[in-house]
Structures are given as structure tokens and as C-alpha cells.
Structure 1
Amino acid sequence: MKLGTKTRGATLSLALASSLALTACGAANEEPAPASGGGGETTGATEELSGTLNGAGSSAQQAAMQAWTAGYSSLQPGVTVNYDPVGSGGGREQFVSGGVDFAGTDAYLDEEELTGAQERCAGEGEIVELVNYIAPIAIVYNLEGVDTLNLSPATLAGIFAQQITNWNDPAIAADNPDATLPDLPITPVNRSDESGTTENFTEYLAAVAPEVWTFEPDGVFPVEGGEAGQGTSGVVNAVGGGNGTIGYADPSQAGDLGIANIGVGEEFVEPTPEAAAAVVENSERVEGRGEYDFALELNRETTESGNYPIVQVSYLVGCLTYPEQETADLAKDFMTYVVSEEGQQAAAESAGSAPISDTLRQQSQSAIDAISAG
């Protein structure tokens, strides 16, 4: 079961706010074509929709959401989809309070949030929670003269717990016997806002190095003393602005920063979409959730070759029953595009994410088809 609880109150990043209100439209069916239920095609629409659908959440999903809204705009020109990349915690909070129609989040709703979400949704009060984005969390670094960096789980945990404080520490040297490591202080960089990326990262550390990482998983980074950045872009900018810095971020936004290989079993694995998807395929559904809630307990402790366990699975969260028919129609149509083969390929090309499997697509489509107005 999930160990940590999420705290609320993510603040809006001014840097991200300038890129808000991503406008999108599209042309799928109000009732999706049969092929979209499993084959992932979005053609064959017979009815144009119009209106506005509002969402908020994960900044790690931002590049993918831009691709989805752009692709959807070629299908439904009468629909505007606004997405505020305020962060996963802020997105969940806005959805629970009724401020947005859907949320994008890198961590599934905890029990308190789930209760609040059920209260805000009409009808039976159930929610849909769908895997829509799979991506590794890259350990990004800026260290002059070091082009390749390997980090074992315990070493990585020691760095972010601030127990390993210099780049020539024996633990790092043992992971990198062929590297010339400088005598330079390590500057760890974490998210300053509540973040699903942080929760996934700390969940991994707690699972694989509990003797070193003694903190419970949380969306708020628990160790003080390092640098902090607002949102994914804030972490990337902070790491890029120094020498000896290290942080965690979606690899699609890493730019020219170095990306470490992480110890898994007997090998060091780079954070590829394929390696992230392999972990998801080996994970189980969270027990005790609703019929259309497909939250996953990720297999962080895998030692399988080619698996990269520092992975985040992002979700689309919406109501099973919306108060208004228009909102239900728009939510169904947009979500159908997002989980379709076309939508997943658009995200992969834009954000470097791993397309969801056919099994996940079929599960998601069964939930989307059940969305209605009450």
C-alpha cells in the first residue's frame, strides 16, 4: 500500500502561469466510435462539439498536454481545453473543490482527497482515475568534466538525504570507478511546491533504501537545506544554473543537463520510456478503489533487467457523473483522444513519454464510456 499522505497548498508558478490556458479543440464523437474502445482510433466522428473544458495539475505533463490540446484542436475546433500546470497537488485540490472539470496528477488521490472528490461529483459520486502518461523521472545533474554518472539506490538516497555531501565521496566513486570526480560540494535541488514528481521520487527512495531514506513518501520534499525550484522548470533551471547540482525532473525538460544511470539489480539503467513502461506492466492495481479507478501500486523494488523504477504514472482524474451534459460530453471526448493511439503517439513525440499499453487503453476506455450527466 502507499506509505505517504499528500499535503495540499501547491502555489502557482509565475513562470508556468505565462503558458497557461492551452487552447485545444477536436472532432471525435460525443459517443466515441467503437474503434476507440480498444483500437485507439479517433476517426469517424459524426458530431461537432462546442464549449470549454477546464483542467489543472501536473507540470510534468505540460509538454504532453500541449501535444494533446494541439492534436485535439484539429478534431474539435469548437472546443476550448484550458490546462493550468500548477502542479499535481494544486490540480487535485482544484478538482476536489470543484474549480476544474478534470485534474492531471502524478500521484493518485489519497483517501481524504478521494472522499472529497466523490462528494463533488454528481450522481453516485464515483470518480475515474486513468493512466494517461508514463514517464521516467530523470536524475539530472550539472557537474563539469563528468559526462556519465552511475548512482546506486543507496548512494542516490544518501545524496538527497544530505548524508553524502561531496562529489568525490567513496560511495559515488564506487559507482563510477572510471570517472574523475571533483572535490566539490553537492547541491541537491528539490521541488519547492507540492508535487506528484516528488511523491513518486520519495516513494522510490523509501522502497529501495529504507536504511538511508528514513522519511515517508510525500508530495512535499522532507529534507531542508538544499536548493528548491517551483515546478519542473524551476528544478531544471536551478540545476542548470550551478556546478555540482543534482535534482529530479521529467527527462523531456532536462535540456542539456546530464542524466544519471540508476542501479537496478546488477546493472545501471538509463531513464528511457521503454524502461519506465516495463515497470508499469509489472505493477498491480490499488485495492479497494472504485470500478473505474485504475490507480497503480508501482513495483519500485524490481531488479529485472531493463526496468527503470524511478517512474511516474500520471493520471487523468474526472467524475463518473457530471452535473451538466455538456461537461460530460466534452470530458468523454477529450479523454478518448488522450488515451487513443493517436493521442499517446503525439505525447510520445512531444514529451518522450511511453505510450500506454492496449490493456490500459481498454481499461481507460471502459471508464470513459461510462461517464454521464446526472
Structure 2
Amino acid sequence: MHRSMVIHKYPGPLPRQAVHDEEAPPSMHRRTRVFRLAAVTALAAGLAATAGVAPAAAQKTKALPATTINGSGATFPQGFIDQCRESFRKVQPNVTVNYPNPGGGSGKGRQEFADQVTQWGASDAPYPAADLSKIKGGSFLYVPTVTAPITISYNLPSIKKPLRLTPLNVAKLFQGDITTWNDPLIAADNPGVTLPATKVAIARRSDSSGTTENFTRYLSSAAGSVWKLGAGSTVTWPADAQGGNGNSGVGAIVKATEGAVGYVDYSDAKATGLKFATIRNAAGTFILPSLEAATAALDGVALNADGLYNPLNSPSPKAYPIAAPTFVLVYAKYSDAKVAAAVKAWAEYLVGPCQKQAATVDYAPLPKDWATQTAARLNALG
């Protein structure tokens, strides 16, 4: 049975922030991504309690026949997808799940999925309404997987504690209005901090990016009319901004360039050893990006019938304000029964057993009821 797709529209801007005193941010420690299980065991256990459990069909399914399913797209969930691909091999050893590293960006993932170059895709943002008629495979589902912060990472060796940045100052940094790090606007939010006169170097995505879309949507909401560059998977950045391919590419620019500032997913920022700022949230509190703060951003956020949700600029007082959604794209029907079964098993694994692995690679799992709802929607695949 074909499942009709509901088109979700992002909600309008949330109320502007009131100003409150900052909660003292914890210090940031550099850790590598690979095999950090010991360092994150306690956090993983706590977050896994909110994660969904696999539907019985996914837990007890017999081995599927040899099949390859190809995907591409978002680099924001790259670490989670790669982790799940590795562990999925033990569940379905005959199924090969391919995903490039880097994934190519959300724009590429949506395009290749729409053109049926791939059997599944990954995107941090939905299709623009104008593109829906171009999707060759017909009805499809957005499958939410995890959430995580988009960090504002910077390279200022003399600054030892996380900088405090308001949404207005983030906007002004990335559109070139603030050109040196000792600007009075930044100094006003960081009393007692000796800021260097280093020139600001903007690092941004060079590809069509869901991280860019979520970051610019956040600024359109939180900074209002101060933000002049609009929202989308690509925007016109200042001419001297340096472009990087994927989140890891932006992270590499920030790491190599003193004075640089870039928007980088939490997992890549930590793996690269970057410093990142505390950002003032909608409740007026400066919050350091963390998995707990990303989970808090989901408080009061609804999972729509089509699988989309928007945690950006959450009103929750403990929320990190740039917590981003991310999704997997799957068709409701496939002409090849083996491919259909493999895609369904893969999607069920992402919202089921692999949720417990999310925190080990620096992602926050879905709330339990969201995972359950999503697993039920996957019954429509065939």
C-alpha cells in the first residue's frame, strides 16, 4: 500500500531572547571519535534510556539475501551512520549498506535519491516544495534518526574558556559585520576576557548543505532582521569566506586558521579538537553544546506526522539553541523486493537497536515515543 506523504512546513520564528546571567560553562576536553566507549559509557547509558527499541520484526528477522543498498547525503550524521553501518553487518551480514565519507551533503543526498541513483538518502532538511514533483520514485518517508548540536567553533589559542556569543553576534560574525575578535560587541558579553585583535576568518560549507540550512534558519529566527543572508542549503557568504567540503572540511579550515570561526557538527568538532562557544538560548542562558543540551532542545517539540521536527531555537531553558534535526529518506515502495526488505531492515535498525550507540559517537538518540512512532510508520515500506 502506498503511503501518502505529508509536507511539513517549518514553524515561524520563535520569540526573541530575554537576557539572563550565564550559567558557568564546563571546560571542553579534546577527545577523539574512534572507540571512545569508556569515556562516554555513563552518558550513553543515560541517553540510551530515552532511545527507542526495535520493533519485534526487526529484532527477530531472519537473514536477508545478498543485497546492496546505496545511500548518500548529509555529513552532519556521518558518524552515526558509519557506526550503524558497521554494527548492522552483524545483524544482516548479507546486506551491504554503502555511504560515502563524506556523504556529499544534504543537497546531493536529496538529488540522488530523487533521481533513484541511490536506494536511500540522508538529509538534515526536507525537500523544497518545488522539488517534490521531481522525485522519480514516488511517495517516500522522512525517517528521523538522531539530533545533535551545530557548534560555533573557533581558533583563538589565547582564549582558554569558551567564549559567550549572542545570536546577534553570531549573525554579525558570519555576515562580516564583526571583523576582529576584540570587537566591543563580543567584549561586552565576555567581561574580564582579554580578546585578541586577530582578524575574523569565516569558514563555511562549499557544498549544498543541510547543516548550512539549519544554521541559517536558526539565525533567521534568533537574530531576526539583523541576519541579512537569508536561509537555505546555500547562501551568499562574504567574498573572503573560506569554503570546506562537508562538516569535516569546515572543521579542518577552523583548525588550520588562527582567527577562524565556523559552524561544525558536534561530532566532527570534538573529533577535530576544536574549541566552541557557549550560545545564548531563547530563555536567555548561555549554553555550551552537549548531548544533554541537544536532548533538552526536543522538550515541547512535536514530531509531525510526516516524520519532520524542528528543535532550532527551542524555548527550553536548558536547550542548546542550535540543535539540528537529521533524517533518512526511504521510498514507500521499491520494484525490487530484496531492496525493499533491505531498506526496511536498515531503517528499522537506525531507529531501533542503533539508537543505543548514538551517544558513543556524539549524537543524542530519539525520544522513546518518537522511535516507536517512526518504527510503526516503517511498516508501510514494501
TM-score category by the smaller chain?
A: 0.7 to 0.9
For residue 171 of structure 1, give the secondary structure of its aligned residue in structure 2: helix
For residue 228 of structure 1, give the secondary structure of its aligned residue in structure 2: strand
Partner of residue 69, structure 1: 85
Contact 2:312 2:322 survives alignment (8 Å): no
Cα displacement string for residues 315-364 of structure 1 (whole angstroms, at most 9, x for unaligned residues): 01111111111111001101111111x301223212x0001011211121
The 2-side partners of 1:2 and 1:266 are apart by: 23
Contact 1:192 1:221 survives alignment (8 Å): no
| One-letter identity of the residue aligned with 1:60 | F
Partner of residue 344, structure 1: 355
Cα displacement string for residues 220-266 of structure 1 (whole angstroms, at most 9, x for unaligned residues): 13222211111111101110111111001111111221111001133
Q: How many equivalent residue pairs?
A: 327
Contact 1:3 1:217 survives alignment (8 Å): no
| One-letter identity of the residue aligned with 1:304 | S
| Structure 2 residue runs without a partner (length 5+) | 1-8, 13-51
Contact 1:167 1:244 survives alignment (8 Å): yes
Partner of residue 88, structure 1: 106
Summarize the Cα distance change of 1:299–1:312 in structure 2 as closer, same or farther, 3 Å threshold. closer
Partner of residue 294, structure 1: 307
Partner of residue 112, structure 1: 130
Contact 2:125 2:327 survives alignment (8 Å): yes
Contact 1:71 1:346 survives alignment (8 Å): no
The 2-side partners of 1:160 and 1:274 are apart by: 26
For residue 305 of structure 1, give the secondary structure of its aligned residue in structure 2: coil
Cα displacement string for residues 11-67 of structure 1 (whole angstroms, at most 9, x for unaligned residues): xxxxxxxxxxxxxxxxxxxxxxxxxxx632653333433211111111122111110
The 2-side partners of 1:53 and 1:328 are apart by: 9
The 1-side partners of 2:189 and 2:109 are apart by: 38
Contact 1:65 1:347 survives alignment (8 Å): no
| One-letter identity of the residue aligned with 1:71 | S
The 2-side partners of 1:253 and 1:239 are apart by: 12
The 2-side partners of 1:337 and 1:355 are apart by: 13
Match among 200, 205, 208 for residue 186 of structure 1: 200
* Structure of greater relative contact order (alpha carbons < 8 Å, 6+ residues apart): 2
The 1-side partners of 2:309 and 2:134 are apart by: 20
Partner of residue 231, structure 1: 246
The 2-side partners of 1:200 and 1:150 are apart by: 21
Match among 208, 217, 233 for residue 222 of structure 2: 208
Check if 1:263 corresponds to 2:280. yes
The 2-side partners of 1:335 and 1:281 are apart by: 24
The 1-side partners of 2:230 and 2:303 are apart by: 21
Quote how far apart the aligned CAs of 1:3 are: 8.8
For residue 296 of structure 1, give the secondary structure of its aligned residue in structure 2: coil
The 2-side partners of 1:256 and 1:134 are apart by: 20
Contact 1:282 1:299 survives alignment (8 Å): no
Give the alignment of 1:113-152 within 5 angstroms.
Answer: 113-117=131-135, 120-121=136-137, 125-147=138-160, 148-152=162-166
Match among 353, 356, 363 for residue 363 of structure 2: 353
| One-letter identity of the residue aligned with 1:95 | F
| One-letter identity of the residue aligned with 2:81 | M
Give the alignment of 1:356-371 within 5 angstroms.
Answer: 356-371=366-381
Quote how far apart the aligned CAs of 1:135 are: 0.8
| Structure 1 residue runs without a partner (length 5+) | 5-37
Quote how far apart the aligned CAs of 1:93 are: 0.3
| One-letter identity of the residue aligned with 1:43 | Q
The 2-side partners of 1:299 and 1:232 are apart by: 18
Cα displacement string for residues 257-293 of structure 1 (whole angstroms, at most 9, x for unaligned residues): 111100113321011122122223422456xxxx5x2
| One-letter identity of the residue aligned with 1:162 | G
Check if 1:52 corresponds to 2:79. no
Match among 335, 360, 363 for residue 323 of structure 1: 335
Partner of residue 13, structure 1: none
The 1-side partners of 2:219 and 2:11 are apart by: 12
Contact 1:89 1:105 survives alignment (8 Å): yes
For residue 144 of structure 2, give the secondary structure of its aligned residue in structure 1: strand
Quote how far apart the aligned CAs of 1:299 are: 4.6
Quote how far apart the aligned CAs of 1:146 are: 0.6
Partner of residue 32, structure 2: none
Match among 201, 211, 217 for residue 197 of structure 1: 211
| One-letter identity of the residue aligned with 2:171 | A
- Which TM-score applies when normalising by structure 2? 0.81
